[in-house]
Structure 1
């Protein structure tokens, strides 16, 4: 039995098995963080729109000896989110960590070209989806024993400074900051901690174009530095490792030389 399996067995014997939900767990940042949590001994529920990528994440995570629950979910649909949490209750019995990660970045276009349908899609997935998962997590965490848990929201550098021609992503990520603060405040009475990680240019499918060349505020198109997504995963595992009487409220992890400080 390997070290990871030994760690998991020790957690079980000591009654400290922990359970997490990662949305958007089939690829990119979500997949990396789901695997990092499994490596750290968490049993993880994997949520995303497509089953096959979730199953691939679960398959890769088998090496760590923890339990994995695959639940394809459209997080913009309240009924689907309720089903997701019903599955977590049935199979895990509790939830210690929610990582709100699922999101969509609509192709770059000027504000006046963005259709109402495109705007609504971004709001539904990036913002309403995170709210629905947070709401269901509250209902579960406040009533479980021991009470409480932690919610970590994937903000973004765009929660602070916009990219050009990205109004829907920028607005929804700014709103995630408000959701983080409101969740942190309202969660106090239930021992629910909430923090936010703002990620800049972690290497993933979403940042392929950034590394090749992306529109800048001055109208030019230039490649930007990216960083290994594993640095983000390690940061989230650290945030999750704290006891509930301590919290990383906001953390920024970014490629050192990306145009953020002084952007524009």
Structure 2
């Protein structure tokens, strides 16, 4: 049975990603901070006929984060897809943002991916995938939320490095750059974005593989 671990699982895109892969028969591991949200999502996934497990972890605590990944890897037996979703939104422009605040946000939105992949690697075999929810903020940042653009640019860069590093082992990495604003209707609903993430992860590993895919709806 294939499995996916979703980092920063919640009711939005990450929850939709979990359900989309579950409909494809994947068992699911969830990491988040809200036990009630995780229990609800677990119940929804089990109704789809798959196993679901969850762990509470502060993603900025590298040891706790890695421990949660390893625990889910052991419960699931393998990790075929690792999906990284978190980012920090802080409404400050570059003249208001402090260095400590910037580093705190980058530790979550970029450093968290590094922790997750390093912890998941022993459970990932040939054909496994690392996916990440990217954003147009990577190259079109909003000055009013300066740290978000830095996070998303760093995330995109790290995914490229991970793809190059893991490719010899048959593991590929890709960020899906969402070029629009999430909403309850239209092309940028969580379910539509999740469909794009699923499509990116399940592509064949061939000469056409790219480590970044824009999603414009």
TM-score normalised to structure 2 length: 0.90
Count of residues paired in the alignment: 215
Counterpart Cα distance in 2 of 1:129 and 1:166: 19
- Pick from 67, 77, 93 the counterpart of residue 93 of structure 1: 77
Alignment RMSD (CA, Å) = 2.0
Deviation, structure 1 residue 164: 2.4
Distance (Å, rounded) in 1 between the aligned partners of 2:189 and 2:152: 22
8 Å CA contact 2:70–2:119 kept in 1: the answer is no
Hey, what's the Cα distance between the residues in 2 that align with 1:190 and 1:177? 21
Partner of 2:168: 189
The answer for the alignment partner of 2:181 in structure 1 is 201
Unaligned runs of 5+ in 1: 1-16, 205-210, 212-224, 256-264
Q: Which runs of 5+ in 2 are unaligned?
A: none
1:139 and 2:122 aligned: yes
Pairwise mapping of residues 22-171 of structure 1 onto structure 2 (< 5 A)?
Answer: 22-106=6-90, 108-141=91-124, 144=125, 147-171=126-150
RCO higher in 1 or 2 (8 Å CA, sep ≥ 6)? 2
TM-score after normalising by structure 1: 0.75
1:200-251 deviation per Cα after TM superposition (whole angstroms, max 9, x unaligned): 21227xxxxxx9xxxxxxxxxxxxx873221111111212223444735322
Q: CA deviation at 1:148?
A: 4.5
| 1:241 corresponding residue in structure 2 | 202
Give every structure 1 segment of 4 or more consecutive aligned residues whose post-TM-superposition deviation is greater than 3 Å. 243-248
Alpha-carbon shift at residue 47 of structure 1 (Å) = 0.8
Instruction: Report the Cα offset of residue 18 of structure 1.
Output: 0.5
Q: Which one has the largest radius of gyration?
A: 1
Q: Helix, strand or coil for the counterpart of 1:158?
A: helix
